[in-house]
Structure 1
Amino acid sequence: MYHLVVGDEVFSVQDRTPISRLARTDYGSYSETALIDDADSEPTGSALSKLALSATWTRPKAADAVNRIRKLLNEPQQVSDGDGYNLGRWTISSIEEVKTSLVHNGKAMKTEVSIQFLEKRGASTS
């Protein structure tokens, strides 16, 4: 059973790439409008949703997986969850990699990766 699929990259317990955190932020279609002596909310359309994913590898071969994820930066990616629900298309806005528990040869025994996604709307792929 997998947790999440981003493009062709599968995050699953079997591959030892479990997700430690998945957060999604959606915004309403109203924004605050400042008025003299008051405030109001006006319909402005909803902002793009955000998705944040954290995964932890506890093996020294995590670098290969992280490099595969980096290749997904240049194009919008289809994202699906473990229940088969299509979360839509997303662009990767950032990837942060933190290596800890380094051993004598410099390899990390623990690699944590945080990926920030931004919703992709519209038909264009660019």
Structure 2
Amino acid sequence: SYDGGWIEIDLLNELPLPQRTGRKLDSMTLSGRWYHRDGLGGENTLARARDEGKARTLVRGDGTNLGRWYLKSFEVRGSSMIHDGSCVITDITITLSEFPTRERVGI
């Protein structure tokens, strides 16, 4: 999700006035699926990353550095539960938010 950096200010009896304010932080939502017991290990890994509270460098599969991002949230949904209470299929949705560098925010 990319913001253009504009807001609209409502005016009485007029069209809204667009004003450039600077863009919001970018966000990214990734979805995937784990099978068998891999879901539990992956969920624990994400929970540890959340608890560390660190921004991390994100690198795309082709080696492109996408900058620093932090884990904003993640959601886990299990399905096809078997006799021991574990899920055969675990769907995951991860939301990341851009972490601005000092150069970006002008500090």
Deviations along 1:24-59, one digit per CA (max 9) or x if unpaired, are x11112111212221121110001111001110112
Give the corresponding residue for 1:121. Answer: 100
Structure 1 residue matching 2:45: 3-state secondary structure = helix
- Does residue 59 (structure 1) correspond to residue 9 (structure 2)? The answer is no
Amino acid paired to 2:19: E
Stretches of 4+ aligned residues off by more than 4 angstroms = none
**What TM-score, normalized by structure 2, do the two folds share?**
0.85
**What TM-score, normalized by structure 1, do the two folds share?**
0.73
Give the corresponding residue for 1:105. Answer: 84
Task: Name the structure with the higher strand share.
Answer: 1
Amino acid paired to 1:31: I
For this pair of structures, how many residues does the alignment match?
Answer: 99
- Does residue 42 (structure 1) correspond to residue 19 (structure 2)? The answer is yes
Structure 2 residue matching 1:27: 3-state secondary structure = coil
Q: Distance in 1 between matches of 2:62 and 2:38?
A: 28
Deviations along 1:78-123, one digit per CA (max 9) or x if unpaired, are 1111111111111111111111100011111001111111111023
Amino acid paired to 2:40: A
Q: Give 5+ residue unaligned stretches, structure 2.
A: 103-107
Q: Distance in 1 between matches of 2:94 and 2:28?
A: 8
Task: Name the structure with the higher helix share.
Answer: 2
| Superposition CA RMSD, Å | 1.1
Q: Distance in 1 between matches of 2:57 and 2:80?
A: 33
Q: Give 5+ residue unaligned stretches, structure 1.
A: 1-24
Give the corresponding residue for 1:29. Answer: 5
Q: Distance in 2 between matches of 1:89 and 1:56?
A: 24
